[in-house]
Chains A and B, each alone.
Chain A
Amino acid sequence: MRLSNKPLPRISFRTIRAKIAAAISVVLGLISLFIFIFFPARLEKQAFKAISAKADSIAEMTAFSISPALFFEDVESIEEVIKSARQNENLVYMVVLDSSGNVIADFNKDKATHAYFSHSHDDNHISADGAICEVMTPILMRPNGRDIGRLYLGLSLKELRSEVANSRATIALVSVVILIIGTILVFIISTLATRHLGRMAETFEEISGGDLTRRADVSSRDEVGYLAGSFNLMVDNLEVARNKLESLNRNLEERVEERTKALKSSEGQLRAILESTDDGILVVDSLGQVIHSNRNFAEMWRIPEELTEEGNDDRLINCVLEQLEDPDEFLSKVRALYGSSETSFDTLYFKDGQVFERSSGPLIVEDKVVGRVWSFSDVTKRKKAEKEKSSLEARLQRAEKMEALGTLAGGVAHDLNNILSGIVSYPDLLLMTLPEDSDLRKPILTIQKSGQRAAAVVQDLLTLARRGVAVTEVCNLNEIISDYLESPVHAEIKIHHPEVQFRTNFEERLLNTLGSPVHLSKTVMNLISNAAEAMLDGGEVTISTRNQYIDKPVKGYDTVEEGDYTVLQVSDSGIGISREDLNRIFEPFYTKKAMGRSGTGLGMAVVWGTIKDHKGYIDVESTEGEGTTFALYFPVTRQESVQDAQSLSMEELMGDGETILVVDDVQEQRELAKGMLEKLGYRVRTAPGGEAAVEYMKNNRADLLMLDMIMDNGIDGLETYKRILELHPEQRAMIVSGFSETDRVRDAQALGAGQYIRKPYVLDTLGAVVKSELKKNTNGKISN
């Protein structure tokens, strides 16, 4: 493995050899050039100097030689000297002058005349043509040095020039030869010197490529050999070190791997812990930058995945703030907590209704606050549950209140119903015996109607207590409302509220519902009455009906479950109901109205009770100062109305002598029922209780059982029916009770019992139901 990623320089002409050769060649060239230029010039200069010195010497010697002769005016001797001097082939001229400037002797005087007369000074010099070195020497008389004449001498430089030229040529040749030879030698030497280096370089390259087994193969006993040896030693050490390093590295890698695994495991655990909680966890540093968050956080805050991955904290915080009802407050609290070591709790309310509980604590590492941990818990359901619980508690309180009231009412109602049975039922018998034109008919009818109204009041109480027996008939709200609007009660309301307009908006093909027309009518009355009373200065009350399918539960005042409904809606533009009152309007005796003016505080409680008895739901929307709308949802029934059945004539109601067993623990009820049924042409048997009825049926048969559901002593109507069914599995039965339809009634009906009528009942109702039940086959189906 190469330690460096830098590429090795490619071998090019810029080798050491080439460099050395080039450098030395250049040096040699320069030296040669220098030699070629310098030495000839120097030589020439020196030669000239030599020539000049020679000339001086010759002149001096000649002058010296001539001096005595000149002193003695021995011209012959002078000429001898000159003659002797002429042996020098380079002598061009020589002239001896005395002190007066007269030429005493000369050689080649013409040339001399041209030479020395052309110059104004007497120094040694080169002639203008450069061919002669001219010297002038005074002839001095020895020993006193008296100037007795001058000697002019000219030496030819031709030979000198020639020699210099030759020398220059020779030097040039030698320089070139030296350069060439030197270059070749340098090349050879550098090749020899770098040969080993090249091999070493190759070896080094292989080593740098990771092959530490390679070694430089140079054994020369010089610096290169020493270098190679040192390098090999270095590589040995390097190999050992690398092996050690690799070993350490492996060890380290293993340890790192272990630690990484442990860390990952720890991280995984930590993440698992964070992900295991239902809370959304967000961890930020001291600057508010997100360090970590769990999945729940993103899901709870509905933060898009791409935002989480993007890591843009500003966009993330904006995404969060947009969802809150009060983002500024949240933000200010968050900012106040940055860097703080406080633990903080808060509740966050979302625009969409979610509620989070937020807790925040400092993130402390080594006793230092390095950030903050935010924990968010979705308490929406809990809050809702608490709210519902509160609502349920309120309702429970109401229900308990009502139950208490109902218990009170129930105790009274049962006896009252029985008492009222006489007032309601006996008039029928009396009317059957009286002539049509009898004066007593009218009072008796009045008594009956009064009794019926009293019974209705009792039913109100029982309804309120959810214990009243409601007549379960197929009825139509449009008809009920219409009947009510034409009733004297409504007329009275209109009189009391002359400025209130009543408007209807009926669904034409309104579906039926199962219920008690009386209670439904009472409900309508209560709603309309309250609506009118809410508009002190007049206004409009709108009564409307509609069919409505609820495909998913609607949360309103009440939660309307999925299903088909026929809806009664009463709206007013009155004063509205405050939020606090809205939670309590259905409480018994909770009224804002002046006591005694209208109502007894039970009106809305009865409405509530009625809607619950009818398995319906109620929704209230109200705005103070604008008005209120009540919407009552009644489950739809596909049954046809039994009103047609109740309008049968007496002949049609008469029986054919079928046997009917009347089971009732109250003697008067048994006698009453017996009387009516016999009147209707049935054969009647009675039993004072469930056990007696079962005993009777062991050995007898009956075409129809008329079961009182609630019997104080012994088994009730349902248990009685069950036991009788064991004896006679296909026994027909109808149920009679002074209470509202209960679960026991429904259970009995589920077993096969027929219709249910409420005490007190009239002859027509009794006759119609008996007729209807007897028409059914033993399997409970109506026979043709």
Chain B
Amino acid sequence: MSFKSSMKIVILASVLAFLWTAPSSAQEMAVPVSVQFPLFLKILVFDRNLRNRVGDEIVIGVIHQRKFKRSLRVKDEFMDVMKESPIKTVADIPIRLVSIDVDDADLENTISKNEIDVLYITPVRTLEMKKFTSLSFAKKITTLTGVPDYVAEGLAVGIGTKGGKPRIIINLPTAKAEGADFSSGLLNLAKVIKG
């Protein structure tokens, strides 16, 4: 069995598991992290401005709430998927994950100190996405999320579903404000929120 075939099975299983276990709320992720992660890496490839923004590595800050279990769990899954994924680069730029508890640190300093290039927003409670987008706009950081609603709320890229299949959601104004320049090919595939 080829890797691809394995990956498909994993993806399929994850989807099924998610669908079986995922709470039905607005913070709900449409697809499992294992599906999100490779997709996000692919999506980043379509950012034509990525190389201009990142340095020698793409630092992905995984925003989570320690106190929110689901967020923590998603963070951990994200980190695990990262570790287990054979794909360690985006456009041949190595990636590094940085876990960021949004409750603990001065988010701005932490982002700056870790030279975060991309933020992955796990499901969070009582936080407005503006908190993240203000920083992402200023620091030109692309925001990713597995929660489709967050995209509508202002984050740049999310993963939803359509017809049982993952579907990319892009908030185009946010993406542009964050300095991302997604190719039309990606945009053609994605659901684009224009404002």
Contact = CB atoms under 8 A, between A and B. Distances in A.
The 5 closest A-B pairs by CB, nearest first: A68-B185, A144-B91, A68-B189, A68-B186, A77-B189
Given A71-B45, A72-B39, A74-B165, A142 B189 contact: no
Contacts of A71: 42, 45-46
Contacts of B183: 68, 142-143
A64 B185 contact: yes
B91 A72 contact: no
Interface in A326-385: none
A142 B185 CA distance: 9
A25 interface: no
Contact of B2 (A64, A100, A143): A100
Contact of B189 (A74, A100, A143): A74
30 contacts: A64-B185, A65-B185, A65-B188, A67-B185, A68-B183, A68-B185, A69-B185, A69-B189, A71-B42, A71-B45, A71-B46, A72-B39, A72-B42, A72-B189, A74-B165, A74-B189, A76-B163, A76-B165, A77-B188, A77-B189, A100-B4, A141-B45, A142-B46, A142-B48, A142-B183, A142-B185, A143-B48, A143-B91, A144-B91, A144-B92
Nearest to A75: B165
Contacts of A100: 2, 4
A74 B164 CA distance: 12
Contacts of A64: 185
Nearest to B167: A74
A193 B42 CA distance: 79
Nearest to A144: B91
Interface string A126-160: 00000000000000011110000000000000000
B33 interface: no
A69 B183 CA distance: 12
B188 A68 contact: yes
Given A65-B188, A144-B91, A144-B92, A72 B168 contact: yes
Nearest to B162: A76
Nearest to A67: B185
Interface in B127-170: 163, 165-166, 168
Interface in A93-150: 100, 141-144
Contacts of A144: 45, 91-92
**Residue among B39, B166, B188, B189 with the most chain A CB within 10 A?**
B189
A144 B183 CA distance: 12
Interface in B39-67: 39, 42, 45-46, 48
Interface string B86-107: 0000011000000000000000
Nearest to B51: A143
Interface residues of A, number: 15
Contacts of B166: 72
B45 A143 contact: yes
Interface string A61-86: 00011011101101011000000000
A65 B183 CA distance: 10
Contacts of A65: 185, 188
A704 B134 CA distance: 220
Interface string A740-769: 000000000000000000000000000000
A69 B186 CA distance: 8
Contacts of A68: 46, 183, 185-186, 188-189
Contacts of A141: 45
- Please indicate which of the listed interface residues B42, B185, B186 has the most CB atoms of chain A within 10 Å of its own CB: B185
Contacts of B163: 76
Nearest to B163: A76
Contacts of B165: 74, 76
Among A68, A143, A144, residue most surrounded by chain B Cβ atoms (within 10 Å): A68
Contacts of A72: 39, 42, 166, 168, 189
Contacts of A67: 185
Contacts of B168: 72
Interface string B12-44: 000000000000000000000000000100100
Nearest to B48: A143
A305 to B, nearest CB: 128
A90 B33 CA distance: 44
Given A100-B2, A100-B4, 11 more contacts: A68-B46, A68-B189, A71-B45, A72-B39, A72-B166, A74-B189, A76-B163, A142-B46, A142-B183, A143-B46, A143-B48
Contacts of B186: 68
Nearest to A80: B188
A65 B168 CA distance: 16
Interface in A265-316: none
Nearest to A69: B189
B129 to A, nearest CB: 24
A85 to B, nearest CB: 14
A766 to B, nearest CB: 199
Contacts of A142: 45-46, 48, 183, 185
A282 to B, nearest CB: 128
A201 B176 CA distance: 88
Nearest to B186: A68
A68 B168 CA distance: 11
A72 B168 CA distance: 9
A68 B166 CA distance: 14
B195 to A, nearest CB: 22
Nearest to B185: A68
Q: Which of A64, A67, A71, A100 counts the most chain B CB atoms within 10 A?
A: A71
Contacts of B48: 142-143
A594 to B, nearest CB: 179
A100 B168 CA distance: 24
Nearest to A66: B185
Nearest to A81: B188
A65 B185 CA distance: 6
Contacts of A77: 188-189
Contacts of A69: 185, 188-189
- Residue from A69, A72, A74, A141 having most chain B Cβ neighbours under 10 A: A72
Interface string A672-698: 000000000000000000000000000
A257 B165 CA distance: 131
Contacts of B2: 100
A495 to B, nearest CB: 188
B1 to A, nearest CB: 12
A100 B42 CA distance: 18
A746 B39 CA distance: 194
A71 B42 CA distance: 7
Contacts of B39: 72
B192 to A, nearest CB: 13
Interface string A158-195: 00000000000000000000000000000000000000
A328 to B, nearest CB: 133
Contacts of B46: 68, 71, 142-143
B92 to A, nearest CB: 6
A149 to B, nearest CB: 12
B109 to A, nearest CB: 32
A72 B91 CA distance: 15
A72 B46 CA distance: 11
Nearest to B3: A100
B39 to A, nearest CB: 7
B156 to A, nearest CB: 17
A173 B46 CA distance: 55
A473 to B, nearest CB: 187
A138 to B, nearest CB: 15
A36 B109 CA distance: 78
A81 to B, nearest CB: 9
A67 B186 CA distance: 9
Nearest to A102: B4
A380 B153 CA distance: 169
Nearest to B43: A72
A144 B46 CA distance: 9
B175 to A, nearest CB: 15
A608 B48 CA distance: 175
Interface string B180-195: 0001011011000000
Nearest to B47: A143
